[in-house]
Chain A
Amino acid sequence: MLEIRNLSASVGGNRVLNGINLTVEQGEVHAIMGPNGSGKSTLSYVLAGHPQYVVESGEAILDGEDLLAMPAEERARAGVFLQFQHPVEVPGVRLDQFLRAGYNAIHKSKGLEELDPLQFDRLLQQKAGIVNMEPTMLKRSVNDGFSGGEKKRNEILQMAMLEPRLSILDEPDSGLDVDSLRLVADGINQLRSPERAVILITHYQRILNLVVPDVVNVLMGGRIVRTGGVELAEEIEAEGYEGQDEVLQAQG
């Protein structure tokens, strides 16, 4: 479904990704683990099309299409969803209106039915239950005054509404208490299906006990240095990231 080949990218003149190779098949959940500054968030921004991130070389093919050639909104319409590590506040714009604008833009591009506010509200109420979101929050300005946990749950709600083919989750677990983590993990698991894929970026193994990945990748210095199963995450949890890149070189 997603094929990343030799992808290098920079931001603000600094090279952050140094030849990423990654293949994600339909139905898979890929964990990407790595220390701070290893390029995890950069990878997610590059795939989603943030204008500040410059692709130097390489390619990313989604369902046979050149993902990197599309503007951000077309990637979203092609089914790429980015859960932001730090969701942006949009003052004065109600969450339900914001979500409906995105939902209808995506539906319109696919020739599907757009929903009026009443129809949309019904669907939204139903999905809000998944992440235990109070109905009053749906009428508040997007992320304005939301707590860290509320912001993360809001991101998962948006994912549940948009039903993306490829979800890129950038640290959905950071800053969450145990209860919120459970809600977020349930939300992600509910969206798992044979047609969809997830790239789950995290520092910690904790969330991987709740959202069990099919593949674990270790990202260091802008490259995938190791790939394995769940046991790789456990190994990192026990031993840390130090020396992981040397493993690759030894295999080299």
Chain B
Amino acid sequence: MVTPKQLAQTEYKYGFVTDIEEETAPRGLTEDTIRWISAKKQEPEFMLEWRLRAFRHFLTLVEKEQSPKWANVHYPPINFADGVYYAAPKKDQPASLEDVDKELLATYEKLGIPLEEQKRLAGVAVDAVFDSVSVATTFKETLSKQGIIFGSFNEAVQEHPDLVRKYLGSVVPYTDNFYAALNSAVFSDGSFCFIPKGVRCPLELSTYFRINAAEAGQFERTLIIAEEGSYVSYLEGCSAPMRDTNQLHAAVVELVAMENAEIKYSTIQNWYPGDENGVGGIYNFVTKRGKCAGDNSKISWTQVETGSAITWKYPSVLLQGDNSIGEFYSVALTRGYQQADTGTKMVHLGKNTRSKIISKGISAGHGQNTYRGLVKVMPRAADARNFTQCDSLLIGDQCGAHTTPYVEVQNSSAHLEHEAFTSRVSEEQLFYCQQRGMSSEDANSLIINGFCKEVFQQLPFEFAIEATRLLEVSLEGSVG
């Protein structure tokens, strides 16, 4: 039988450290830090000004002690003045993939993301972000032939400043929340995607975020713009070394879908979750939001959250265009002493807009899992529809599952449905599987995968396999 203790003691496979010399920003957080980062990146003036405005706003929030307290997560106060906000491999930015440091290539290979031409994943273009900088992007030329821009955020700031200026902060303004303000001030890199009108992106676009430096936080920003009638599927993966201190990861992701455009955004989040006593691990405080700006547009979030000591994120959709569609599919696994407070906001602004929320929370060990969601229907949003299903699965008796759905409806033609249930992996199910010859480990994994099926089938094929494997890893060594 699987005991909660055994589940909590699973190994983290990506906990290694890359031995590479890194340059870091001076410790601390002042206007000088912001200027230092902006100068490091040789940014145009508008970027520095925007960062400084964000930073001044952040300071007012710190003064008023307005870091978010409403989430069902518990951690000691973070001393933001004592942080390191930038770390990057020392060598100059490589001109091409061939010039990328061997240690870095080896790192990504170890993570299962080979960057070298002959080994690349077929059908997936990868932007590799290491601490505060993008170190390589594959398939860039192939994509640019179709007018698709895919690469690091820094590059986009240099090469496409008008696009960045137009869309940066247009979905998540720096005033949005505490961590969005912090990110806007200090963000270092991330990915930028632009899909021109009528283009269906032929590859999966993907960014792999790796934290390596011991003290620096990671603050990246991703911006995806899908022009009229275009389509893109994007995937983000992440991992970090095992350390006994907590590290902050505060990202912002903004998506914009124009008329008839579709963005599918998938995340497999596997940051270091801390050890079996809850020591160390990443604080994953992320703001993700998409705007269905045009009529008939669609944004779909799929997330598989297995890592981090604390996860605080609510990938949301603003349904502005008429007939636009927002979707949120989520699996969040908490074990050990992990805490997750995650869900979504679906804001219906346009007519005949539809949203769908499928949330699956799995709690084991001392894990605490909260679904928090908001469905908001604005006065103009006639005939809006929402379907919400949030299910929880408990393994053992020390863990917790919580559901906090909010609904605000200002148009009486709205139609909302909500379903929720909490279950345990029952002894009867396990026995049934074992009676058919399966080990209790395989039986658990089968039952849990069944529970997650509706979410996993939204993932691109290779990543569905990856997600299944991740859950299996988390159950490894669990047969007593």
Binding site for B on A (CB under 8 A): 48-52, 71-73, 75-77, 81-82, 84, 87-88, 90-93, 97-99, 101-103, 105-106, 109, 141, 158, 162
Contacts and interface: CB of A to CB of B under 8 A. Distances in A.
Contacts of B447: 90, 93
B431 interface: yes
Top 7 A-B residue pairs of the complex, sorted by shortest distance between their CB atoms: A92-B450, A102-B436, A93-B450, A92-B453, A106-B437, A72-B434, A105-B437
B429 interface: yes
Contact of B439 (A75, A93, A97, A105): A105
Contacts of A106: 436-437
Contact of B442 (A76, A91, A105, A158): A105
A91 B421 CA distance: 13
What range describes how many residues of B lie at the interface?
20 to 34
A162 B433 CA distance: 13
B462 interface: no
10 contacts: A48-B435, A51-B431, A76-B437, A88-B426, A88-B432, A91-B451, A92-B450, A92-B452, A105-B442, A141-B450
Contacts of A51: 1, 427, 431
Contacts of A98: 433, 436, 446
B393 to A, nearest CB: 10
Contact of A50 (B431, B440, B453): B431
Contacts of A99: 436
B438 interface: yes
Q: Which of A73, A87, A158 has the most chain B CB atoms inside 10 A of its CB? A: A73
B442 A101 contact: yes
A108 to B, nearest CB: 9
A72 B450 contact: no
Contacts of A76: 434-437
Given A90-B447, A93-B449, A101-B438, A72 B431 contact: yes
B290 to A, nearest CB: 27
Given A49-B434, A73-B440, A105-B437, 5 more contacts: A48-B431, A72-B434, A76-B435, A88-B432, A158-B436
Contact of A162 (B427, B432, B437, B450): B437
Nearest to A108: B437
Interface in B1-25: 1
A105 B429 contact: no
Q: Which of A99, A101, A109, A162 has the most chain B CB atoms inside 10 A of its CB? A: A101
A71 B433 CA distance: 12
Given A52-B427, A88-B428, A88-B432, A93 B446 contact: yes
A90 B444 CA distance: 11
Contacts of A48: 431, 435
Contact of A77 (B427, B428, B431, B437): B437
Nearest to A78: B437
B461 to A, nearest CB: 15
A51 B1 CA distance: 9
Contact of A102 (B1, B426, B429, B438): B438
Contacts of B116: none
Contacts of B440: 71, 73
B427 A90 contact: no
B204 interface: no
Contacts of B434: 49, 71-73, 76
Given A50-B431, A51-B1, A92 B454 contact: yes
A90 B438 CA distance: 14
A88 B437 contact: no
B431 A101 contact: no
B392 to A, nearest CB: 13
Q: Which of B1, B438, B439, B454 has the most chain A CB atoms inside 10 A of its CB? A: B438
A48 B449 CA distance: 25
B452 A103 contact: no
B433 A90 contact: yes
Contacts of B433: 90, 98, 101-102
Interface in B92-143: none
Contacts of B446: 90, 93, 97-98, 101
Contacts of A102: 433, 436-438
A52 B446 CA distance: 22
A72 B427 CA distance: 12
Contacts of B435: 48-49, 72-73, 75-76, 81-82, 84
A93 B431 CA distance: 15
B318 to A, nearest CB: 31
A7 to B, nearest CB: 19
A87 B432 contact: yes
A105 B451 CA distance: 21
Given A50-B431, A51-B431, A101-B442, A90 B436 contact: no
Nearest to A92: B450
Nearest to A45: B431
B450 A103 contact: no
Contacts of A81: 435
Contacts of A72: 431, 434-435
A90 B1 contact: no
B299 to A, nearest CB: 25
A169 B70 CA distance: 55
Contacts of B451: 91-92
Contacts of B429: 88, 90
